[in-house]
Amino acid sequence: EMELFVHGFPSDVAALRFEWAWQHPNSSHRLLTPPLRHPREQPITFALRLLPRLLRAPPWSRLPLKIRWLRPPRPALELAPPPHVVEEEGAGLPRLKRKKGRSQEVGVSVEGCGICGQAQATPLLRCPRPLCSMAAHPPCLARLFLAPEPLQLLPVGGACPRCHAHLLWGDLIRHCLGEAEPEEEWAEPDDVIIPSSAPT
């Protein structure tokens, strides 16, 4: 039986690199001090100890990843994942389906950016809060979110410039792409799945 899977990688290559590092922690250069496997420790237990360390290591520490636990109750991790990594529960392997939203029907936006004020042929990122009308170009909003971290390239999140709510970058991108609620279908190949060692 599968215990969990990790999804939300930007590409198949990124997912495969994560999977390889998860399976070969001592050979990967991503973990400076990989944990040692205890004597008689089950493979699934060691994998669960390793998971949060990988999620906190670059380049995955800034990706909007999700962990989906398939069998309740989910075990307590030795180390918590980064706060922007979403943990979900539920059986099945959902795939996010696209819904026809503003970004797909219009294609480009003719409205002005709430930060630079210019109207460019670029889809705008919008605050998902119903009462907030913030809309901004992705580069403009990324620069605003990265102001406290000038050496980083990908923002994790930041405060909405209009309503000041904390927004996660991954949620803004998913909203812009028009992704709806998960549907019960097989997952895309950019998911990393770890099987349980429990007997079936």
Q: Is residue 10 part of a domain?
A: yes
Per DSSP, what are the bridge partners of residue 68? 5, 88
The rounded distance, in Å, linking the Cα atoms of 89 and 74 is 8
CA 17/CA 196 separation, integer angstroms: 21
What's the number of domains the chain is made of? 2
In this structure, is residue 48 part of a structural domain? yes
For 2, residues 6+ apart whose C-beta sits below 8 A from its C-beta are 70, 193, 194, 195, 196
- Show the DSSP H helices in 24-131 as ranges: 43-55, 102-106
The answer as to whether 135 is a domain residue is yes
User: For 8-65, what is each residue's pLDDT tens digit?
Assistant: 888 889 899 999 999 998 888 888 887 888 899 888 889 999 999 999 998 888 888 9
- Select from 89, 112, 134 the last residue of a domain: 89
Q: Is residue 193 part of a domain?
A: no
The reply to whether 12 and 80 lie within a common domain is yes
Which amino acid does the sequence have at 77? Answer: L
Q: Is residue 186 part of a domain?
A: no
Do residues 8 and 84 both lie within one domain? yes
pTM (whole model) above 0.75: no
Continuous H helices in 76-130 = 102-106
Q: Whole domain around residue 25: which residue ranges?
A: 4-89
> 51-100, pLDDT tens digit by residue?
999 999 988 888 889 899 988 788 888 888 988 888 888 875 555 554 44
